[in-house]
Each structure stands twice: as C-alpha cells, then as structure tokens.
C-alpha cells in the first residue's frame, strides 16, 4: 500500500536574543533548554538581534559587537545545533530593515505610545523624553522579524504578549491591503518555567550588578555567586527553622538539581531546623559546577575557533536571507513596488 499521507510542513518558530551580553542561567532555564528540545520537531530560527541591541546602546556599540560571537558560542555550548536550527544575524538580513520601513507606514505614533511593553521599558530604562527613536519603534522592527520568517509560534514571557498583538495587527492590516493572506499571524508559546530570580533575589539579572551566573562562568565565579546568594535573612542559627519561600538557593536547586527527592529532603530538613545555609549552598555549588563544566568547556572550545562561529552565522544568515527576501517581495507586491 502506498503512503498517501502528505508530509506536514514543520511549525515555524522564531526566537532570539539581544546580543548585549553573554547568556546566563536565566536564559538557560527560560529559553535555551526549550530551544534544544524544539529544534528536532520544529522549523526553528534563532535570531541574534544585534540591531535591536543597538536601539538603546548606540553610545556603547561594543556592548553589542563584542557579544555576538559569545552568544553564538553559548547557543552551541548548550546544544543548539545549526544542523537543526537556523542561527542568523539580524544585521545581515536587509529585508528586516526594509519591512520595518514598510510597516512603519501602517502603524501610528499613538499606537506605539500605547504599547505597554514599550511604556514599561521606557520607564525602567529611565529614558523619559530622550528615548531613542529606534527603541520607541522597536515593536515594528520586531514585527518585521517575526513576519519575515512567517513564524507562527513565538516563545515569550507574558510581558511580551503586547508585542505579538502589535505584530498581528500589522499582519491583518497588510493582508487587508493585499486582499489576500500574504503574512501569517503568530501566537505566543508561553513558557512553563517561571522566571529564574537573580542571585541577590531582588533585581533583574544584570552584568553590572553581578547577580547572574553566566553559562561561561568559571568555577571561581560559580562558587562566589553561590556563596553570596540570598537565602533566609531571619535564619540566623543553624538549629532554627528556615524559610524556603524567596530563598534563592532552593529556587536554584528546584531549577537545576537532577535529584528531586534529595531536594525535597533538604527542604524538609531546612524548614524543621538544623540545616545550615553553608550546607545547602554546598549542594547547589556542586550541582552547578557539574552542570556548567561541560557547557563551559564546549563554549571555550568554540570561542577558540571564531572562524567556525562566523561560519555558522554566515550559513544561517544566507538561508535566512533567502527566506526573508521572499516575504519582502510579497510585501512589496502589496505596494506595487516590484516593477524593476
């Protein structure tokens, strides 16, 4: 009997990172592990967003340029495989800038001002009235990224949902102008993993605050980070009962320790009293050292051969260029601009 089943095209996923720093354990839990799993069952593109990184770093461009290959090394080190995932560089895809220009004509300034994600980021970055135009308009640029790959599934945190709404508004507007479906709407793939807190338990992870553990952290850095980790400030004597809630050591143990029964036992002991922070930190330290050792080793190896990293980006960007130019062609058609 003949197999008459048509081969289903794989669902297209677009993810990516601003290339503004090396990736850390927050990225690992929040997205990198998921990407490794998804790459075998989905048509996945990972965009290294250097141009978006510049929207609020034009005065410190090295922050972006010096991290592009770091990010690619991070990807490869955790197991994102360029044979399954298209890894590409935003600035190498001119269609993204051109689509941004076209879409800018169908989004009003007041619509951008109402975007809650942009509003809160403007506030948190303290831009006030001096917000760079590129940062203000980045929802349009992000819509260009998503639609240029005809991605239908976008792994995001729920704070990013307004960005996808904005994208789908543009999709509907362009399809309405075209009189047919030239772009596809996307939907969010919300992560089950809750956001990993910083080691100080207070602020967002950031390089300058030194409250994140990078994937490439040395043994010394890992030990120092665990040692200074926020626990239960009221847990002064070992024999006293300690709190699990808000205790970052336990949050990290939950996130990373492979032996869930052991972690459950530690929690019980800690809450009952008699288990010191030094002991729980020791367990976490060993777990992180073991988990990060092979990642760090692979990362170092990849960074020692920058030519290979560049080749990965070059190949991925060439494939992405072909795909995104097709979408640009369709959008140009809407405006009747394919006459040459």
Rounded CA-CA distance 105/98 in Å is 12
- x/- letters, 283..312, toward its own copies (CB under 8 A): ---------------------------x--
Rounded CA-CA distance 163/12 in Å is 18
Based on the shown chain and the rule CB under 8 A, indicate whether residue 92 belongs to the binding site for its own copies. yes
Rounded CA-CA distance 17/45 in Å is 11
**Phi/psi-derived region of residue 246, left when phi > 0, alpha when psi is between -120 and 50, beta in every other case:** left
Residues 6+ apart with CB under 8 A from 214: 22, 23, 24, 25, 221
Based on the shown chain and the rule CB under 8 A, indicate whether residue 58 belongs to the binding site for its own copies. yes
Q: Which of 15, 20, 39, 55 binds its own copies (CB under 8 A)?
A: 55
Contact 50, 67 (CB under 8 A): no
Based on the shown chain and the rule CB under 8 A, indicate whether residue 98 belongs to the binding site for its own copies. yes
User: CB count, 10 Å around CB of 3?
Assistant: 6
Based on the shown chain and the rule CB under 8 A, indicate whether residue 133 belongs to the binding site for its own copies. yes
Based on the shown chain and the rule CB under 8 A, indicate whether residue 68 belongs to the binding site for its own copies. yes
Contact 264, 282 (CB under 8 A): no
Based on the shown chain and the rule CB under 8 A, indicate whether residue 62 belongs to the binding site for its own copies. yes
Q: Which stretch binds its own copies (CB under 8 A): 78-86, 148-156, 244-252, 332-340?
A: 332-340
Sheet holding 43-49, edge to edge: 85-89, 43-49, 12-18, 153-156, 187-190
- x/- letters, 150..189, toward its own copies (CB under 8 A): ---------------------------x------------
Q: How far is the CB of 306 from its own copies (least distance, A)?
A: 9
Question: Which residue ranges make up the site for its own copies (CB under 8 A)?
Answer: 50-51, 54-59, 61-62, 64-66, 68-69, 89, 91-92, 94-95, 97-98, 100-102, 104-110, 112, 129-137, 140-141, 177, 310, 313-314, 317, 332, 334-337, 339-340
């Amino acid at each position: 009997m003949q197999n008459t089943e048509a081969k289903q095209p794989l669902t297209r996923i677009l993810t990516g990172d601003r290339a503004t720093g090396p990736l850390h354990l927050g990225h690992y839990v929040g997205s990198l592990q998921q990407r490794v799993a998804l790459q075998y069952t989905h048509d996945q593109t990972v965009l290294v967003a250097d141009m978006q990184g510049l929207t609020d770093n034009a005065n410190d461009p090295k922050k972006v340029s010096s991290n592009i290959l770091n990010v690619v090394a991070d990807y490869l080190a955790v197991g994102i495989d360029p044979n399954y995932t298209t890894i590409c560089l935003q600035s190498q895809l001119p269609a993204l800038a051109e689509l941004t220009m076209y879409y800018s004509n169908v989004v009003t300034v007041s619509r951008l001002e109402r975007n809650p994600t942009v509003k809160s980021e403007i506030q948190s970055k303290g831009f006030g009235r001096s917000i760079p135009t590129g940062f203000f308009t980045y929802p349009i640029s992000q819509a260009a990224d998503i639609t240029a790959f005809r991605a239908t599934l976008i792994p995001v945190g729920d704070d990013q949902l307004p960005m996808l709404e904005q994208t789908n508004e543009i999709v509907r507007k362009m399809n309405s102008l075209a009189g047919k479906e030239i772009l596809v709407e996307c939907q969010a793939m919300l992560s089950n993993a809750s956001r990993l807190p910083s080691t100080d338990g207070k602020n967002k992870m950031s390089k300058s605050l030194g409250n994140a553990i990078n994937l490439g952290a040395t043994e010394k850095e890992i030990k120092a980070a665990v040692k200074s980790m926020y626990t239960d400030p009221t847990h002064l004597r070992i024999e006293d009962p300690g709190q699990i809630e808000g205790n970052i050591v336990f949050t990290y143990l939950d996130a990373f320790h492979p032996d869930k029964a052991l972690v459950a036992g530690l929690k019980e002991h800690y809450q009952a009293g008699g288990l010191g922070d030094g002991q729980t930190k020791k367990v976490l330290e060993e777990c992180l050292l073991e988990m990060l050792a092979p990642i760090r080793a692979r990362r170092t190896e990849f960074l020692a051969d920058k030519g290979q990293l560049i080749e990965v980006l070059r190949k991925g960007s060439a494939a992405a260029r072909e795909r995104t130019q097709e979408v640009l062609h369709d959008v140009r058609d809407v405006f009747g601009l394919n006459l040459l």
